[in-house]
Amino acid sequence: MTVPTGWRKSSVSNPNDSCVEVGRVGDGAAVRDTKDRSLGYFTANRKQWQAFVAAVKSDRFSA
């Protein structure tokens, strides 16, 4: 299993707020909780990650 690299947090997040980080893994992405990195992370392949990002950009998850 490839270890995620290049973890990044959104540039608009407040340093004291809850946030997630995204890292690169293989041909996809890994996501973890900034508050408790010891919980681990989950991964998505390139196709899954692209579908998720497209859904976020189209505001599909808004309340």
User: What percent of the chain shows pLDDT beyond 70?
Assistant: 87
Q: What is the enclosing helix (H) or strand (E) of 46?
A: helix 46-57
Contact at 8 Å (CB) between 34 and 20? Answer: yes
Cα–Cα distances (Å) from 20 to 3, 10, 14, in that order, read 17, 8, 11
Higher-pLDDT residue of 62, 51: 51
**Which pLDDT value is given to residue 17?**
66
Specify burial of residue 30 (Cβ count, 10 A radius: 0-12, 13-18, 19+). buried
